Amino acid sequence: MKHIKKLLVPSSTVLIFCLLILTGCEKSETADKETITYLHDIPEREHYASLPLMGTYWEFTGFADTRFGTVEIQSTFRRNRLTFVEDGSINGIISPNQVGGNYIAKPLNKLNISRFALVTYIGVDQNDIHYIEAMKKVSSYKISAKGLLLYYGKNTFLLFQPYRPHFLGLFR
């Protein structure tokens, strides 16, 4: 009887551990699915298309891929924001870090971004690294009713929408 109890305790512990792992994996897969939406589900606001690149405060919405018509939506917990300044600099935040760089806007919506990097470092995750690397590859842009599209590949772009900073006394 003692041998059976000794076998039952470790095997039941292993079973509980395996169930926890499987349950954890299931939740993470669900969370991943919840962050993907279709491009056609992103609301269009006609006045976005008339906004200027420079001077508008842009908030990152997500990573888009035209091949699949999807956008990987950024968590609402984190707010990545950018402003293209008229002096050729880019200022922004990747919560809680500050980022910056330089840009040159060329004819036909070509855009060259250089020296884009963290200005402060409090900590980054994999999405932050992906965002920074994508910003370094941006070659063109488009401002549409969906917002600012920064193309970093043939079929991929970073989607931003305008926001009004609270310090201006305005809200989104």
Residues 30 and 78 in one domain: no
Through-space distance between the first and last CA atoms of the chain, rounded to whole angstroms: 68
Do residues 138 and 90 both lie within one domain? yes
> 160 and 107, same structural domain?
yes
Residues 164 and 130: their CA atoms lie apart, in Å, by 25
Residues 48, 23 share a domain: no
- Do 91 and 142 belong together in one domain? yes
CATH code of the domain in which 95 resides:
2.40.128.270
Does 22 lie in the same domain as 73?
no
pLDDT at 4 over 90: no
Determine the Cα–Cα distance for residues 113 and 82; give it in Å rounded to an integer. Answer: 13
169: confidence class by pLDDT, cuts 50, 70, 90: very low
85 & 150 share domain? yes
Same domain, 25 and 48: no
Alpha carbons within 13 angstroms on the beta-carbon side of residue 2 total 0
SS (H, E, C) 126-156: HHHHHHHHHHHHCCEEEEECCEEEEECCCCE
Same domain? For 63 and 128 the reply is yes
pLDDT at 150 over 90: yes
| Residue 43 structural domain | 38-168
Same domain, yes or no: 53 and 81? yes
Integer Cα distance of 22 and 113 in angstroms = 43
How many domains does the chain divide into?
2
Task: Specify whether 27 is located in the same domain as 76.
Answer: no
Average pLDDT, the chain: 82
Distance, CA of 113 to CA of 135 (rounded, Å)? 7
pTM comes to 0.77
Where are any strands of DSSP class E within the chain?
36-38, 57-65, 70-73, 80-84, 89-94, 97-106, 110-118, 140-144, 147-151, 156-162
Per the CB < 8 A criterion, the answer to whether 62 and 68 are in contact is: no
